[in-house]
């Protein structure tokens, strides 16, 4: 069983954020969004932690969450706090992808190249991976991204300029893009 150091913290207007890390890097970042935001005032912290633990086990099976931050998760908390406060900087923390297919890892690494405040379309991201018809597969890999925000799947949009999908809801994707000052822009990555 792999031990993960878990951290759970609340940002007003955003809700609860869960991170999980190994000593090498961040392996999960999840926003408890939507109705889960009400957990901040209506649900005891232990209940929030229980829901977060369930999510980690579903996302990263065979792991045990130690509810104490390590150096990586503390760095992630600090970077995310600055990001949500409007620092204008991407939350840069080391990553440790302990799960994911080879294809998903390629997509996630390529998403890390999308500059802050810009977007790229699924089709062009697939093209950068050598997949002329891979937009749907790229979208599926985006949806399975365990380290959202830090690996910016919210910066990937549809070719027609619509936002496409987002695991935490399209309203969160819009809010993240607004925070970054990004507009749907389907120019290829350079």
Q: Which residues are catalytic?
A: 153
Pairing of strands 63-66, 2-11: parallel
Give the C-alpha distances (Å, rounded to integers) separating 30 from 10, 21, 55, 172. Answer: 12, 12, 9, 12
End-to-end CA distance of the chain: 41
Are the C-beta atoms of residues 139 and 170 closer than 8 Å to each other? Answer: no
Give the C-alpha distances (Å, rounded to integers) separating 133 from 139, 149, 185. Answer: 12, 26, 20
């Amino acid at each position: 069983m792999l031990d993960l150091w878990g951290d759970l913290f609340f940002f007003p207007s955003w809700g609860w954020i869960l991170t999980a890390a190994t000593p090498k890097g961040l392996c999960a970042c999840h926003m408890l969004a939507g109705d889960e935001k009400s957990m901040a005032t209506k649900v005891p912290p232990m209940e929030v932690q229980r829901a977060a633990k369930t999510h980690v086990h579903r996302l990263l099976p065979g792991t045990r969450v130690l509810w104490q931050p390590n150096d990586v998760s503390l760095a992630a908390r600090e970077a995310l706090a600055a990001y949500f406060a409007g620092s204008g900087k991407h939350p840069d923390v080391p990553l440790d992808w302990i799960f994911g297919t080879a294809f998903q890892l390629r997509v996630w690494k390529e998403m890390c190249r999308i500059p802050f405040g810009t977007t790229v379309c699924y089709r062009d991201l697939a093209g950068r991976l050598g997949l002329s018809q891979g937009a749907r597969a790229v979208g599926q890999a985006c949806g399975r991204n365990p380290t959202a925000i830090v690996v910016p799947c919210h910066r990937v949009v549809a070719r027609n300029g619509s936002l496409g999908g987002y695991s935490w809801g399209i309203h969160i994707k819009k809010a993240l893009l607004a925070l970054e000052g990004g507009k749907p822009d389907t120019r290829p990555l350079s």
